[in-house]
Structures are given as structure tokens and as C-alpha cells.
Structure 1
Amino acid sequence: MSRKFAISDTCFIIDWSYYKRRECLVKLFDIVLIPEQVLLEVEDERSISWISLQLARGKMQLFTPSPSDLREAERLILEVASRPYLKRIDIPEALCLIVARRINAIVLTENRGALLAAKLLKELKGVTVWRALEVIRESLVRGIIKVTSEKGVKDIFMEYERDTSHVFPKRELEKAVKEVLRCLGMKR
């Protein structure tokens, strides 16, 4: 059963809008929240058009953070900055992490700082962060994107790389492909 909500940062939603199978995102989640701060950073027409369409269809929803969300996000940014082993995060990523923790949503981001913070900070324990790799993996496993062979699975990930110029880490890609094949009962 899929989680009901996701919340996206800027880089994720811009990259995702260039993916030809981008509709799988709004099939995977009931609602994808877009914080106002994220929408303000989106400047290219293609991304704006796709986000606008999803907002009109009710598949995405504009999210206005409360003053306490903003204070908590600022505090999280400072907490991350105080730890040299963490990569920095900005307001959009911090808001996504804070709101996701409160409403039990999945954070959609490619930001390594957000990934590490969710993994290493006690206050973010239980927050799930997905990159495009996990969204595609989950879409394949749930049959939202259909494939019939190992090559088909690999091709879906490669298609995303071509469409967005975003390259998946090789080891993590191999692990995702293996997991999809196992879940779909395909032999390697």
C-alpha cells in the first residue's frame, strides 16, 4: 500500500518534469505537496506547465508552511550546518523534512544533505526520503510502469537518465534493478 502524501523539493520536481514517464509520480501518491518556497524557485516553462497541470488536476497541492514550520526549518538548517559530516540544506529541503516528519509523508529530493540528515539525525528518525531512483523502483514494483524483462527494467532507469541528464550511482542502480527483478519474480 502506498503512502498517501509526498512532499517535493525544487531539484526533484524540476528534473521529474522532464521525465517522459513523469505521470507515474502522481499515480504513486494521492497528493504531492509543493511548498510555496519550491514553486518560487521553479523558473523553466516545462516544469511550471507540468506542475500547473497537476495542481489543476488535484494531484499536487501547494503547501504554505506555518510560521512554526519556517522556524523549525531554520533551526534544522543550523543544526545540519553545525555538523561537518553533513552536507548543507536550504529552506526547501528543510521544510520538506520537517513537514514530512509531522504528516508522515515521503520526502522527494536528490539533495545529499537531506538524505544524510534523515539518516543521521535522531530528530528525523522515521522520515523516509526517496530520490528518483526509489520512485522509479516503486513504480516498477507496483506495476505503475510495466516491464516484461530484465532489459526492460534497466531501460526504464536509463530512460530517466537520458531525459533528465541525472546519472544514478552505479551501485545503487544495480541494487534497485536487482530488487525490482526479485519483486517481479524475474530471473537474473
Structure 2
Amino acid sequence: MSRRFAISDTCFVIDWSYYRRRECLVELFDVVLVPEQVLSEVEDERSISWISLQLARGSMQLFTPSPSDLREAERLILEVASRPYMRRIDVPEAVCLVVARRIGAVVLTENRGALLAARLLRELRGVAVWRALEVIRESLMRGLIEARSREEVRRAFLEYEVDTSHVFPRRDLEEAVEAVVRCLSERR
């Protein structure tokens, strides 16, 4: 069985460190890579403590992008900036996208520019980009977060919103809840 990798940007890992069910992330993936550029942006104590614990456990790994990764990330930033219909991305998101494409990892981000780039740029086709919504959905579907009813499924998402002050788009939330409920009913 191949190993399952993810690579996280700054906003995702900071928000995720506040989620009461945050351990499901390191159960879902074999290793979550944290680029140096991401770690250097994390300033709050709670996030640093949680990331440090995961680094010590081996669930997360500090990642140093190669010079070619950084050149490619810079090129990607300029490519996105040249398209007026796209939202900008910064170095951490660009590094995550470039490395994920190269090693087949899932990008963990809430950055709309990164989500849009993965959808619209031919060079990023096939790169999986997950928000917290997808991580929670997948964790529920795999039983890493227990839920037996629609209310318990919804609660897992709403707890994230309460813990992080990050509100999911309602349509996306409803689709995720429905997908998990369907999965749970198929297991019965």
C-alpha cells in the first residue's frame, strides 16, 4: 500500500490546531508535510505547540523545498497574477501546490486562490486540494470521527466552525453532510 501524504499551508494548519477533533488529520494521512515557509508564519503558541507535538511524533514532517521547487513556486505565483480572474496565491500556497504535484500529495488549504488554481490551470490538473470541510468529510466517512446520525455528522462540522471561527459555505456544507449520511447508510 502506498503512503498517503498531505502538505499544509499556513492558514489551514493554524485553524486546524484549534479544532477539538484535530487528531483525525494525522490519522487520515501517513505524514503531513509542513514547508519551512509555513512554519515561519505560525506565531500563536497553541498552533506552535500542536505542530511541535506532531513533528515529535512523526505525524508531521518539516519540509525544505528544493531550489527548483522555489523557482517553480515563483513561476506559479506570476502565472496566477497574470490572470485577472484568479485570486492571488503567496509563496506557502504555491510551494504546497508545486510539491503536491511532484509527489502526489493532497494540498491542505483554505486559500481560494490555491483552490481556483488547481481547478483552472492545466499544469495543476490532478492535484487534490482539500479544505477543512473535505478533511472532516473524509474523516467521518472513514470512521475517524464517529457519527451515527445526521445530527452527529452536522455537529462535527459545526464544532469546527465554533472552534476556529471559520464558517463553511452553506451549500458545500450541505453537500458534505449528505455525502457522509449516504456513506453511513450504505454501511448499515
TM over 0.5: yes
The structure-2 alpha-carbon separation of the partners of 1:172 and 1:153, relative to structure 1 and needing over 3 Å to count, comes to same
Other-structure match for 1:97: 97
Other-structure match for 1:65: 65
Other-structure match for 1:9: 9
Other-structure match for 1:125: 125
TM-score computed with the length of structure 1 as normaliser: 0.97
* Residue 139 of structure 1 pairs with residue 139 of structure 2: yes
Q: Percent identity?
A: 78
TM-score computed with the length of structure 2 as normaliser: 0.97
How does 1:153-164 map onto structure 2 within 5 Å?
Answer: 153-164=153-164
Other-structure match for 1:151: 151
- CA RMSD across the alignment: 1.1
How does 1:17-36 map onto structure 2 within 5 Å?
Answer: 17-36=17-36
- On the 8 A contact 2:148/2:184 being kept in 1, the answer is no
* Residue 181 of structure 1 pairs with residue 168 of structure 2: no
- On the 8 A contact 2:6/2:31 being kept in 1, the answer is yes
Q: Deviations over 1:7-52 (max 9, x none)?
A: 0000000000000100000000000000000000000000000000
Runs of 4+ in 1 over 2 A off after TM superposition: none
Q: Distance in 2 between matches of 1:137 and 1:131?
A: 10
- On the 8 A contact 2:10/2:38 being kept in 1, the answer is yes
Where structure 2 has 5 or more consecutive residues not aligned to the other structure, the ranges are none
How many residues are matched? 186
1:2, CA displacement in angstroms?
A: 8.8
1:148, CA displacement in angstroms?
A: 1.1
Other-structure match for 1:114: 114
Where structure 1 has 5 or more consecutive residues not aligned to the other structure, the ranges are none
- On the 8 A contact 1:137/1:177 being kept in 2, the answer is yes
